[in-house]
Amino acid sequence: MDFQNDRYTIRKILQIINRAWLDNHLEMLNDYFDEKMVIMSQDFKNKTVGRKACILSYKQFIETAKILDYDQSDPQIEFWSNTGVAVYSFSLNYEMNNKKFSEKGEDIFVFNREEDDDNSWKAVWRTITVFEKKQSD
């Protein structure tokens, strides 16, 4: 296995995923989310299950929030056979209901690759941890 090439591939997928929601091209997520994709809430008490439901959760956020600024660090990526985990820090500024919010945290993605397809990494699990959230009027 060529983990260097896999790191490059997962970095590119993360860039595509983030551009897709930032630019409201959510149809692009279909190619990178597994059919059984899960988005886990920060407190691990709730989850969104399935590709369509996960994409809908992105849609609901971008329909209610105006993104003012988004930045992320270079992801740290580790592998175990056909599983990859990517973690990166982010900062997000947005406006919702006439209030401005600023968040800082980490985004965690788990990817899986089908054994018979070396180039087909799909996101199977995601959670966000928000360490700092501020609101201003």
Count of domains observed in the chain? 1
CATH number of the domain enclosing 131: 3.10.450.50
Residue 115 has pLDDT above 90, yes or no: no
User: Could you give the CA distance from residue 89 to residue 104 in angstroms, rounded to a whole number?
Assistant: 7
Residue 23, burial from CB neighbour count under 10 angstroms (0-12, 13-18, 19+):
exposed
Higher pLDDT, 69 or 114: 69
pTM comes to 0.92
pLDDT category, 102, cuts 50, 70, 90? very high
Residue 117 has pLDDT above 90, yes or no: no
In this predicted structure, what is the pLDDT of residue 136?
86
Q: Which domain holds residue 60?
A: 3-136
